[in-house]
Structure 1
Amino acid sequence: MFTEQMYVVLESTAKDETFLTPMELQAKLVEYLTGTDVCLTPDLLTLPDVESRARYLMTTGCELQLANGGYLQWYAVRLEK
């Protein structure tokens, strides 16, 4: 039985993957979008604020490219109980 949707998150600066809830992933995306140089695509630039960009990324993408060549990747998974 599946109990909860989670995300596996891979960061270019970390050795191990991390499991995050949807809210935790959104907070991490907001952190990256406000605190680092990221390569924003034209569709992201049309959105009014960082929270909207984070929500959009969660539902339409699985990677955020950083200006320094790094990345943040996330993949939806369902955990069994």
Structure 2
Amino acid sequence: MADSIMYQEDCYVILEPDRPEQFLSEAELLEKLKDILQQQEELPRDLQKFNSLEEQAQHLLETSCEFNVSPSQYLQWYVTRLEKR
């Protein structure tokens, strides 16, 4: 049986071209995703079925770890757990 700690999330590390990595909480990442989605002229087909920006961002967060903003821009995110020792 898997240890339940595997499913606990502290934060996300965010990777973008030409920028240092960032650590964001889930709420902060959702806001970032909403901002990016709001600026898109055309959304991927799997996001078009959702009526609200909140639902689109939540679906993206739960089912992906990368979003292509433009041909040369992308956003990647990975869950990470930060521990102080």
Could you say whether these structures have the same fold, taking a TM-score greater than 0.5 normalized by the shorter chain as the test? yes
Greater per-residue strand proportion: 1
1:50-76 deviation per Cα after TM superposition (whole angstroms, max 9, x unaligned): 111110111110011012421011000
Q: Which has the higher contact order (CA 8 A, sep 6+)?
A: 1
Aligned pairs, how many? 78
Taking a change above 3 Å as real, the CA distance of residues 23 and 49 of structure 1, as seen in their structure-2 partners, is: same
Alignment partner, residue 31 of structure 2: 27
5+ long unaligned stretches in structure 2: none
Structure 1: gaps spanning 5 or more residues = none
Q: What is the CA RMSD across the aligned residues, in angstroms?
A: 2.1
Instruction: Give the greater-gyration-radius structure (CA).
Output: 2
Distance 2:24 2:56 in 1: 18
TM-score w.r.t. the length of structure 1 is 0.83
Question: Which residue of structure 2 lines up, in the alignment, with residue 9 of structure 1?
Answer: 14
The answer for the alignment partner of 1:60 in structure 2 is 63
